């Protein structure tokens, strides 16, 4: 059965529906940069059928974590849905791939990468600083203090490195 639920609010209800779904359909016509519905569904292990607009084709690995169809092509959308509804092994494999793909978008990963950039930049500054990241919803909190004993470049070396650094 297909249900058109409209606008939903409240994480508990949304995640309960993701868990009940076999496939999540994202037939966007608006070029959303990073549609969270795709990431949320994939994190639950659901393959996503999405349209080729905005960031959807970058989120869904077509044929691996879901299917990408042309925008405003109802026949292609129906075919993709039918293919996943009638092929349980394919749907399950895509669901596993979707879950693995969603790991790439975890906030902890982004925070670690940003922290890595801060640490890399340390060599370009003369004074110590504190880099802090707080991750929402109490998932985790990390504070890194860089103190005076970290070797610092001289003013001239820092300026030279900054001029040579790629932007």
Residue range 36-86, pLDDT digits in tens:
999 999 999 999 999 999 999 999 999 999 999 999 999 999 999 999 999
**pTM flag (> 0.75):** no
- Output the CA–CA distances (angstroms, integers) from residue 137 to 39, 47, 108, 109, in the order listed: 17, 26, 12, 16
User: Mean of the pLDDT values across residues 84-101?
Assistant: 96
- Pairwise CA distance, residues 83 & 106, whole Å: 29
Q: Are 117 and 167 in contact (CB under 8 A)?
A: no
C-alpha angle with apex 126: 120 to 130, nearest 5 degrees?
A: 60
Q: Is 23 exposed, middle or buried (0-12, 13-18, 19+ CB in 10 A)?
A: buried
User: Mean of the pLDDT values across residues 92-109?
Assistant: 92
Residues 6+ apart with CB under 8 A from 139: 107, 108
Stated as kind and residue range, the H or E segment containing 69 is strand 66-69
Place 135 in a pLDDT band, splitting at 50, 70 and 90.
very low
Stated as kind and residue range, the H or E segment containing 166 is none
């Amino acid at each position: 059965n297909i249900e058109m639920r409209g606008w939903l609010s409240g994480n508990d209800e949304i995640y309960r529906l993701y868990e009940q779904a076999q496939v999540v359909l994202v037939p966007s016509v608006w070029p959303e940069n990073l549609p969270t519905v795709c990431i949320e569904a994939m994190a639950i292990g659901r393959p996503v059928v999405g349209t080729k607009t905005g960031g959807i084709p970058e989120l869904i690995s077509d044929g691996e974590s879901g299917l990408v169809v042309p925008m405003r092509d109802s026949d292609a959308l129906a075919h993709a849905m039918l293919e996943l509804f009638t092929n349980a092994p394919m749907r399950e494999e895509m669901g596993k791939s979707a879950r693995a793909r969603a790991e790439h978008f975890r906030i902890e990963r982004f925070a670690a990468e940003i922290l890595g950039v801060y640490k890399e930049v340390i060599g370009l500054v003369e004074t110590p600083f504190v880099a802090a990241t707080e991750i929402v919803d109490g998932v985790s909190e990390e504070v890194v203090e860089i103190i005076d004993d970290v070797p610092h470049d001289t003013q001239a070396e820092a300026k030279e490195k900054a001029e040579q650094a790629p932007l």
